[in-house]
Amino acid sequence: MSHRIRVAIAGYGNLGRGVEAALAQNPDMRLVGVFSRRDPVSVSLLDSSVPVYAMADIEQYQDEVDVMILCGGSKSDLPEQGPYLAQFFNTVDSFDTHAKVPEYYAALDQSARDAGRVALLSVGWDPGLFSLNRLYGEAILPEGETYTFWGKGLSQGHSDAVRRVPGVQSAVQYTLPSEDAMARVRNGEQPQLTTREKHTRECFVVLEDNADADAVRDSIVTMPDYFADYDTVVHFIDQDTFNKEHSSMPHGGFVIRSGNSGIDTKQTIEYSLALGSNPEFTASVLVAYARAVHRLARLNDIGAKTVFDIAPGLLSPKSPAQLRKELL
């Protein structure tokens, strides 16, 4: 192998650990370092031979990294880290606050273009793979409706947002799809569904000592972009129960395009995911797209990018000839 892509990780939580594991499954890549805001000595990696560096020193390593995978949260970390780190590295992230993608894209694009870098945003399964399937559905069946259902599963971005509420010690958030709404869509009814009619959100929260439960609940259910548009239930539990019952991270969902072709022929396109681990799957998507970022950088195709801008062949380690032979 002539050149293994040098990848580094910024942020080592659940997603960062997933990225480390995913990189081990891709022999054309190698993990050259992990950057953390914690004391590097306190960070234990799956592979102890990989160095851990202080996030504050990250700029010093720009010549040693081909692609930096950003594993911070979308609420507070990525809006600052993304544009900043795009000055020094080709980056890929999983920013998932849908309503704020346009402004985040603009900030990343300015920073990346000024530095001659590639910055790929909102990579994962939603946004990410689900976004692509929404596009395919609308392009192929222009007459119709697109529906996205999430869950049942744990949302990393929403859980992170709840954990940042003052008074919260630990928290997870589950998204639950409406079975009735999904049945109507699959039946070809093309119903007009509100956000509240498609999903509910359920939070399990451990409070810090002396925290005001009513204030915490109100902060969660009224949070813009995350919970305000949904029926949200907040349960307060103790830490032992939390540890026993909410340590796994399953998720999944469906993208369904219900439309018509020809005179009035009903057609349905459905794409679904059933994930045993949300962060591990998201990490696997990030790693595949990191390969594409490296290839774009070598072509000097700079600036901010989304999954809509990435040709599928760029994700694969296989040559175009192999792909034509094996997958067409």
Q: What is the DSSP letter of 208?
A: P
Facing residues of 149 across strands?
Answer: 254
Assess whether pLDDT exceeds 50 at residue 1: no
- Could you read off the pLDDT of 91-119 as tens digits, one per residue? 999 999 999 999 999 999 999 999 999 99
Please give the model's pTM, rounded to 2 decimal places.
0.86
Q: Are strands 265-275 and 251-261 parallel, antiparallel or unpaired?
A: antiparallel
Residues 85, 70: contact at Cβ < 8 Å?
A: yes
Closest CA relative to residue 190, chosen from 141, 229, 128, 231: 141
Residue 103, token pair as written in the block = 């402004």
Q: Can you say how many angstroms the Cα of residue 311 is from the centroid of all Cα atoms in its chain?
A: 19
- Could you read off the pLDDT of 73-92 as tens digits, one per residue? 998 999 999 999 999 999 99
Pairwise CA distance, residues 194 & 212, whole Å: 32
Closest CA relative to residue 127, chosen from 88, 92, 101: 101
Pairwise CA distance, residues 241 & 170, whole Å: 11
Which H/E stretch holds residue 174? strand 168-177
Residue 48, token pair as written in the block = 């102890």
pLDDT on residue 254: 96
Facing residues of 172 across strands?
Answer: 204
Per-residue pLDDT band for 2 (boundaries 50, 70, 90) equals: low
Across all residues in the chain, what is the average pLDDT?
96
Length of the chain counted residue by residue? 328
- Could you read off the pLDDT of 43-79 as tens digits, one per residue? 999 999 999 999 999 999 999 999 999 999 998 999 9
Residue range 239-265: mean pLDDT, rounded: 94
